[in-house]
Amino acid sequence: MARIWSILVLVATLAFAASPFLVDGFNGFRADQFPVPQENPPVQPAGYAFAIWGLIYAWLLVGAVFGALRRGDDADWAAMRPPLFVSLAVGTVWLPVAMVSPALATVLIWVMLGAALVALFRVGDTDRWLQQTPVAIYAGWLTAASAVSVGLMLAGYGVLPQTPAALLALTIGLIIAVVVQFRLHRAPSYGITVIWALVGVIVANYQPLNIAVAGLAVLGIFAILALRGTDTE
């Protein structure tokens, strides 16, 4: 059964990594996809930050290939594979859904995050760079992306103005990130990935300066750095 899960994770990873090629020109939710158009939302990191997806796809794929070929029957890899498969399988349809329904895409990305965090807590102790690290950076970016989706929904549907929506959404994301990093006591790449997203938020809110949102992002960075585990990858 362990080998079957390794193959399923590999197939799901391949489909997940291929999904951007099946959707033409997706660069995030369009402003007009919301009842209240979201132009330059403060909750969203600067565009360059999304380049991390290339690293995530590549690292997940390398880990999945190695796991299927060399660790197919390894019990140390077994526990994390079912939830990782669920997250990646949902992720294969996320981009097409996001093109038509930000609300449903928000629900899906939270499902992806939940499953990815379960996988992260279940990763074993061996092959850390190929087993733990790709899951950690994937879960770290999903933590940030899920919070961004909440902020866009709150502002885009007129529940809150943009800045309060961003502050609430970032607070939710930071609570998750701090709790995960505190309880995990390892996988510093998870926290580093969240910090990458927070730096992107700071850059996006630098000119014109949104001191509330940028300031919260700075506080979040210091909180994660203070709690980051001391284990090396």
pLDDT digits (tens, 9 = 90+) for 29-81: 888 999 999 999 999 999 999 999 999 999 999 999 999 999 999 999 999 99
Residues 6+ apart with CB under 8 A from 210: 42, 163, 166
Handedness of CA 48, 11, 85, 72 (dihedral sign): negative
Instruction: Please check the confidence at residue 116 and state whether its pLDDT lies above 60.
Output: yes
Cα-only R_g, the chain: 17
- Compute the mean pLDDT over every residue in the chain, rounded to the nearest whole number: 94
pLDDT for res 186: 81
pTM, two decimals, is 0.95
Report percent pLDDT > 70 for the chain: 96
User: Which of 5-14, 41-50, 207-216, 220-229 shows the lowest mean pLDDT across its residues?
Assistant: 220-229
Look at residue 229 and tell me whether its pLDDT is greater than 60: no
**Mean pLDDT throughout 110-138?**
97
Helices (H) and strands (E) in the chain, counts: 10, 0
State yes or no: pLDDT of 25 exceeds 70. no
Rounded alpha-carbon distances, angstroms, from residue 10 to 23, 133, 149: 21, 16, 27
Q: What is the pLDDT confidence band of residue 231, given thresholds at 50, 70 and 90?
A: very low
- Can you tell me which residue has the tokens 């092959």? 127
CA dihedral 80, 85, 87, 93 (to 10 degrees): 170
Q: Answer whether 87's CB lies under 8 Å from 119's CB.
A: yes
DSSP letter, residue 208:
T
Could you tell me the two tokens for 190? 């998870």
Whether 121 shows a pLDDT value over 70: the answer reads yes
Could you give the maximum distance between any two Cα atoms of the chain, in Å?
Answer: 55
Residue the block writes with tokens 């995530």: 56
CA atoms lying within 13 Å on the CB side of residue 195: 15
User: If pLDDT is split at 50, 70 and 90, which confidence band does 232 have?
Assistant: very low
81-91 helix and 102-122 helix, angle to the nearest 10 degrees: 160
99 versus 199: the higher-pLDDT residue is: 199
